Amino acid sequence: MTHNPIEINGDCIDRLIKKLEKKIGTKEANKLKETAIEVVQNCVNVYSENFGIGDVGKNSKGIVGQLYKGQDPIPNGTTGLIYGRVQSGKTNTTIATLALAHENNFRCFIVLTSNNTWLGEQTANRFNNQIEGGPVIFDWEAWKEDPVNFAKTKITPYIRDTGVVLVTTKNISHLKRLLIVLKTAKVKNFPTLIFDDEADNASLNTNESKQAKHGKDVVPDSSTFVHIGEIRQEVANHIYIQVTATPQSLLLQKLSHPCSPQFCAALPEPGESYMGGELFFTEESKYCCIVDAEEINELKKQKGENPGNQWIIPDGLRFALCCFFLGSTYKMLSSDKEDATYSFLAHICYKQDIHNVLEKVISQFVINLDQAIRDKSSATKNKQAIKWLEQAYNELNKTADNLPPFNELIDELKIQLRRAIPKIINANNPDKEPNYNPGMNILIGGNRLGRGVTIEGLMVTYYGRDAKQKVMDTVHQHARMYGYRSQLKYVTRLFLPEHILDAFRSIHEADEAMRQAIGDDIDNIQIQPVWVGGDIPTRANVLDPSLIGVLAPGKMIFPQIPEYKKEEIEESFQQIELLLIDYDKDDQYYEVDIDFIIKIISYTKSHYITTEEWENKRIIKGLTDMKSNGMTKGRLNVRRGKRNNKEGLDMPRKEPFKWGGFGFGSGNWSIYAKKHYPDVPTLIICYQKGEKIKGWDDHPIYLPMLVLPKQKFVLMFNYAEDE
């Protein structure tokens, strides 16, 4: 990519950074500016390659020198990606990028936000409050009544001079009127930068899979996709930057698709105070607490009539609330801010009747607990309440070193607890956003507390939303527990069932794998996805891409439920024996053809389980794809039990996901492969004795483990194809 000089200072960006220094500190503000420089440099380079030098960048004119007249309606190669993290400050990144792009003579800025009016207003206000000494900022309300007059009286006077920022939700009527504004003001004559916030939500063509079945003549493109495309065509000399933490559906578009990012504008790393997946989803995290999955169902069943108002609170929810009550009381006692906000989020379902049940269950518990600790009920109830709170105190003590004495917290809780009134935040609530009170806030909701929403002072999350298809980007966007709340870290907790924790953990791992792959070469993210079951599928709508998984480069994977019954494996075992007869040295990593590895794996047998990474067809498809891209060789290591005179290994059979990180043998085997053969796949196949006393079926068995090559590729898959 050609490098074109850019301005890195100016009144607009300098004022913004000074403002941010006061809010987030000098170090974080400068880090944000570095990211903005990276994004703008990439945008100037791509713009110059596509439309010519001199329009944007250092010493540029800020006017389109030559209008785009290519064959494609939307110029190819103009789509970029800012791949941030959930709740990591992507809006600040966008604002800083815009301020610096203004110094480099981009003159029109279009900011597309979620179709949630609350979030759209929030975003527009942030741009208005933070941008000074630069472009004039308008939102969709300004051109709603008369877009033609607005264009003539507001855009035309400023577009050539200071430039303009046009913020709009992805509401179809707003987009239609915006197009009128752009045409009337002849914005196509000025270099344009479009930011699409949460670009994987609503901006894609949600009718693609229907079109694949019935044809485009029968099924038209989805409306939002069409109108964004018309805007891009109108301001053809533009760069379109997609901003999201979950770009899987974007990366899965065909490479020629206008929504497929062709370059990565930036992979901004969050600041030191950011709490992300590594805090909650490592194997030994102290910030996650497991609740019984059945209690979520029990909560949902408490609908309809309830004589005597006797709502039942399950153990996990009670424990979560007690941790919140003590943690927030501790922070109230230790904080200098008397009006500080501390929040508890309960998110178990999108259904409003379930929200009502939760509100009643929690309200009754708060009342009962308050009366019990203040000795306004029986001695038995007081004793029970103190026991519950002691359990919570012991839990918080695992991470908080300076908790006050238990009795001191209880004395303060007696004053504060009655103010903890649960609030439901859903479509029935006239408040579009949470109305926080100083102190404790208990929020109950579903979709309205999902994508893009920041929960102020979030401390404890009780999460039980368990979709049949755990859509990767949707589930990840429910991670409201992420964010900049380091002052609350040591009393932060996530309560959820173990199977949902496993899903979150695998999603976090897949996301890290994607970042690792892109990070090697951000100028070229034409990742080749590998799918089971044919061509790359497109989404029926943005909430239904099935579960997208990613196999991490360099990772070791293996089947969670290997078949072991004699009648299941007897024939295939003999085939593997014949294939491996000459590979008799345990410590040898033989160079073999990938076709040979594929053949061995084809004879191994396993039962598939949802969220598992290993599935024979999927693995074989991945290896076949590597081969088609020029990787023809791999390594083979056969382990028969050196200490047992090669009579077989003695590992006991285990339940799914209980094998540990090293699978069917020693961790040293895969570590050696990763260190010495990082650029090719290594199959480690373990010959187990298969004794019944160890849980097998008194028949020997070969168990495969595959170490993936650590290089520029990503294996993506759709769980629905394997079920």
Beta partners for residue 284, in sequence order = none
Q: Which amino acid is at 589?
A: Y
Closest to 135 in 3D by CA, of 180, 187, 99, 85: 99
CB 350 within 8 A of CB 447: yes
Measured between alpha carbons, how far is 31 from 381 in angstroms, rounded to an integer? 53
Q: Name, of 443-447, 548-552, 644-648, the range with top average pLDDT.
A: 644-648
The H helix count followed by the E strand count for the chain is 23, 24
- How much is the pLDDT for 478? 58
Angle between the N-to-C axes of helices 594-603 and 616-628, in degrees from 0 to 180, rounded to the nearest 10:
170
* Averaged pLDDT, 359-374: 92
Three-state secondary-structure class, residue 592: strand
For residue 213, pLDDT beyond 70: yes
Of 24 and 589, the structure prediction assigns the larger pLDDT to: 589
All CATH 3.40.50.300 domain ranges of the chain, comma separated, are: 11-266
- How much is the pLDDT for 193? 98
Three-state secondary-structure class, residue 594: helix
Task: List all residues 6 or more positions away from 460 whose beta carbon is below 8 Å from its beta carbon.
Answer: 320, 321, 323, 324, 327, 344, 345, 492, 493, 494, 495
pLDDT in tens, 149-183: 999 999 999 999 999 999 999 999 999 999 999 99
Of 271 and 520, the structure prediction assigns the larger pLDDT to: 271
Tell me the percentage of the chain whose pLDDT exceeds 70.
Answer: 86
Degrees, nearest 5: CA angle 134-139-141: 145
Q: How far is CA 432 from CA 110, 172, 377, 571, in A?
A: 25, 20, 38, 63
Dihedral sign of CA atoms 596, 599, 605, 611 in order: positive
* Averaged pLDDT, 524-535: 40
- How much is the pLDDT for 469? 47
Residue 163 sits at φ, ψ, to 5 deg, of 90, 165
- How much is the pLDDT for 545? 32
Q: Looking at the whole model, is its pTM more than 0.75?
A: no
For residue 309, pLDDT beyond 70: no
Task: List all residues 6 or more positions away from 605 whose beta carbon is below 8 Å from its beta carbon.
Answer: 562, 563, 568, 569, 572, 616
For residue 239, pLDDT beyond 60: yes
7: which DSSP letter? Answer: -
Q: In this structure, what is the dihedral angle of CA atoms 709, 711, 712, 718, given to the nearest 10 degrees?
A: 30
Mean pLDDT of the chain: 84
Measured between alpha carbons, how far is 244 from 255 in angstroms, rounded to an integer? 18
CB 241 within 8 A of CB 232: no
Distance of CA 669 to the CA centre of its chain: 32
- How much is the pLDDT for 502? 79
- How much is the pLDDT for 431? 60
Neighbours of 54 (CB within 10 A): 16
CB 265 within 8 A of CB 80: yes
Residue whose entry in the numeric block shows the structure tokens 């009016």: 117
For residue 451, pLDDT beyond 60: no
- Among 45-54, 95-104, 350-359, 535-544, where is mean pLDDT lowest? 535-544
CATH superfamily for 11-266 is P-loop containing nucleotide triphosphate hydrolases (3.40.50.300)
528: which DSSP letter? Answer: -
Give the chain's length.
723
Angle between the N-to-C axes of helices 315-334 and 352-373, in degrees from 0 to 180, rounded to the nearest 10:
60
Measured between alpha carbons, how far is 715 from 527 in angstroms, rounded to an integer? 9
Structure tokens at 296: 């979520």
* Averaged pLDDT, 483-490: 82
